[in-house]
Amino acid sequence: MIQDISPSRLDNSFRTQQPQPESIAMCFREGKLLAAVTDGELRFPRYHELAAHSTEPVYLFSVDDESFFLTDPAAEPEGYQYYTVRELRDQCAGKYLYAAFTAYHLHQWYADNRFCGVCRGEMQHDDRERALVCRDCGHKIYPRINPAVIVGVISKGRILLTRYRRGYAHNALVAGFTEIGETLEECAAREVMEETGLRVRNIRYYKSQPWGMAQDILTGFFCETDGSDAITMDDSELRAARWCRPDEIELQPQQHSLTNEMMRLFRDTNGHLPPEYAPVSTEIPPQKTRIYFTRHGETTMNAADHISGITDCELTENGIAQAEQLAAVCAEHREIGLIVCSPLKRARMTAEIIAEKLHIPVVTDERLREWDYGSYEDQPRGTTPDFQAAKREFGVRMKDGGESLLQLAHRVYSCIDDIRKQYAGMTVLCVCHGGVCRVAETYFRDMTTEAFSQFFMGNCELREYEV
Ligand SMILES: [Zn+2]
């Protein structure tokens, strides 16, 4: 999404500071922003490139170590021209695009509030916080942000896609601004009803997105139809509204919007959204579910032969190479649609390498973390002779606050139960740990106590189970 500019960071905290020669100048004219675009690369003039300024510069925010100022140059420097933020959105990406949207939001607010709504006096910048204060009566106002909703409506394994009658030409979801006196969830239900005539339920929050271009904060929700899924489209707002299966979804050309991310999540999970957003009603016909299990790549603690349960550690270079190798193997099993991953770092590192190669999403599940070995954690394996014996006990908790094998089995079994239910018909890869893989094996196959304690899973070894 547009705000995902990590490792860069937009710092919006208020400061009173003067521009330096290298500071970035955000210059607007009739709603357009002065910039230069070369092969999708966005640039703004530096302060020293501007000859003179007709207004006092206003500090806006910084991105990493670059400060952005709102200013009004007497003349445009060579090589720059004015673009609408929409034009920039269609051509560019990255931190400068996000800066352009945010600067536009503030510019628009300043431009719309030159005079006091109470006494018609002139507004001026407050010197302690981002606000405008009336010179005459002291009335103070803060930047206005309009809440709006984006709604992904699901029915029978399909999602409701729309196209707006005006403005944006590509696929979208139901959307609209929140009105006075309603909650975001009520707004979501009302907008769906107004635009498509559908009644919805189980409205669940997904993510939000600051969308400076329209002066709003978008809040994304997934929900499902309540009753009929027959669409009655509002012709004045929409020119299309239809149900789409995951493979029918045509995404937006850019990766900027929350809407696009929600559509992509539905497409990439083959309609099986993560449990926290998934529809409660399961009207999709059952298909074969396949679950692969793997153990993370070699870690620093593996290499040192230390016991690593819930203790976090990094992959070694060898471990990274193992994960890359596994990613290549998984790429041949093209049907893997989703990774469910332990929250521990070594598993997440492994999962991310595979996910990047396969272009599939990663969902973290707490229940896949390794067995909590209590005070055996981070001990050298050689100096803890009773550790092997402790692992053979079913109902005894690992000493000093650890888990018993039955507790471990309880959470791993419940996780597999949920994967089977939520991702029915899909092929899922679980990236976790040796101890978890061993328990998973017993979920699918009978094992004697002896076989169980002998079970060993190599780093990035792959096991397949069909449900
Ligand atoms: Zn006033």
**Residue 435: what pLDDT?**
94
457: confidence class by pLDDT, cuts 50, 70, 90: very high
**Residue 161: what pLDDT?**
95
pTM of the model: 0.61
Q: Which residues contact 101 (CB under 8 A, 6 or more apart)?
A: 2, 85, 89, 210, 211, 212, 213
Write out the residues surrounding ion ligand 1, Cβ under 5 A. Answer: 116, 118-119, 121, 134, 136-137, 139
Ligand 1 centroid–CA 118 distance in Å is: 5
pLDDT at residue 285 greater than cutoff 80: no
pLDDT at residue 281 greater than cutoff 70: no
**Residue 213: what pLDDT?**
85
Ligand 1 centroid–CA 137 distance in Å is: 4
Select from 296, 252, 231, 250 the least CA-distant residue to 90.
252
Asked if 10 contacts 102 with a C-beta cutoff of 8 angstroms, the reply is yes
Q: For 288-292, 358-362, 375-379, which range has the lowest pLDDT when averaged over its residues?
A: 358-362
Select from 208, 149, 146, 275 the least CA-distant residue to 4.
208
d(CA 58, CA 70): 5
- Token pair 């536009």 is found at 104
pLDDT at residue 177 greater than cutoff 70: yes
Ligand 1 centroid–CA 236 distance in Å is: 40
pLDDT at residue 425 greater than cutoff 80: no
pLDDT at residue 287 greater than cutoff 70: no
Tokens representing residue 106 in the block: 């503030």
Ligand 1 centroid–CA 122 distance in Å is: 7
pLDDT at residue 288 greater than cutoff 90: no
Asked if 398 contacts 371 with a C-beta cutoff of 8 angstroms, the reply is yes
pLDDT at residue 167 greater than cutoff 90: no
pLDDT one-digit tens code per residue, 338-374: 899 999 999 999 999 998 888 778 999 999 999 999 9
Ligand 1 centroid–CA 131 distance in Å is: 14
Select from 375, 369, 366, 367 the least CA-distant residue to 307.
375
Mean pLDDT to the nearest integer, 82-97: 93
109: confidence class by pLDDT, cuts 50, 70, 90: very high
**Residue 53: what pLDDT?**
64
54: confidence class by pLDDT, cuts 50, 70, 90: low
Mean pLDDT to the nearest integer, 231-238: 88
Asked if 69 contacts 53 with a C-beta cutoff of 8 angstroms, the reply is no
Mean pLDDT to the nearest integer, 396-410: 94
Asked if 461 contacts 323 with a C-beta cutoff of 8 angstroms, the reply is no
Ligand 1 centroid–CA 129 distance in Å is: 18
Mean pLDDT to the nearest integer, 431-456: 93
**Residue 334: what pLDDT?**
59
List of long-range contacts for 199-207, beta carbons under 8 Å, 24+ apart: 199/225, 199/226, 199/227, 199/228, 200/151, 200/153, 200/224, 200/225, 200/226, 201/225, 201/226, 202/279, 202/280, 203/151, 204/276, 204/277, 206/152, 206/258, 206/262, 206/277, 207/1, 207/258, 207/261
Question: Exposed, middle or buried, 332 (CB in 10 Å: 0-12/13-18/19+)?
Answer: exposed
Q: For 4-18, 322-336, 410-424, 440-454, which range has the lowest pLDDT when averaged over its residues?
A: 322-336
**Residue 289: what pLDDT?**
85
d(CA 315, CA 328): 18
**Residue 102: what pLDDT?**
96
Mean pLDDT to the nearest integer, 396-409: 94
Asked if 63 contacts 9 with a C-beta cutoff of 8 angstroms, the reply is yes
Mean pLDDT, the chain, rounded, equals 91
Asked if 439 contacts 408 with a C-beta cutoff of 8 angstroms, the reply is yes
**Residue 320: what pLDDT?**
96
SS3 95: helix
pLDDT at residue 186 greater than cutoff 70: yes
Ligand 1 centroid–CA 133 distance in Å is: 8
Beta-bridge mates of residue 291: 428, 465
**Residue 356: what pLDDT?**
87
Among residues of the chain, what percentage have pLDDT more than 70? 97
Q: For 120-134, 162-176, 190-204, 342-356, which range has the lowest pLDDT when averaged over its residues?
A: 162-176
SS3 of 350-375: the string is HHHHHHHHHCCCEEECHHHCCCCCHH
Mean pLDDT to the nearest integer, 257-273: 93
d(CA 364, CA 350): 13
Ligand 1 centroid–CA 33 distance in Å is: 30
**Residue 283: what pLDDT?**
53
d(CA 182, CA 184): 7
List of long-range contacts for 122-125, beta carbons under 8 Å, 24+ apart: 125/58
Asked if 402 contacts 373 with a C-beta cutoff of 8 angstroms, the reply is yes
Ligand 1 centroid–CA 60 distance in Å is: 24
Mean pLDDT to the nearest integer, 129-157: 95
Beta-bridge mates of residue 83: 33
**Residue 166: what pLDDT?**
82
Asked if 428 contacts 361 with a C-beta cutoff of 8 angstroms, the reply is no
Asked if 292 contacts 429 with a C-beta cutoff of 8 angstroms, the reply is yes
Among residues of the chain, what percentage have pLDDT more than 90? 71
Ligand 1 centroid–CA 428 distance in Å is: 61
What angle do the packed helices 345-358 and 317-332 form, to 10 degrees? 40
pLDDT at residue 431 greater than cutoff 80: yes
Q: Which residues contact 128 (CB under 8 A, 6 or more apart)?
A: 14
> Taking CA 404 as the corner, what is the angle to CA 406 and CA 390, rounded to the nearest 5 degrees?
120
**Residue 286: what pLDDT?**
52
**Residue 360: what pLDDT?**
78
SS3 442: helix
Which of 276-280, 324-328, 446-450 has the highest mean predicted lDDT (pLDDT)? 324-328
pLDDT one-digit tens code per residue, 7-32: 999 999 999 889 999 999 999 999 99
pLDDT at residue 322 greater than cutoff 90: yes
**Residue 73: what pLDDT?**
86
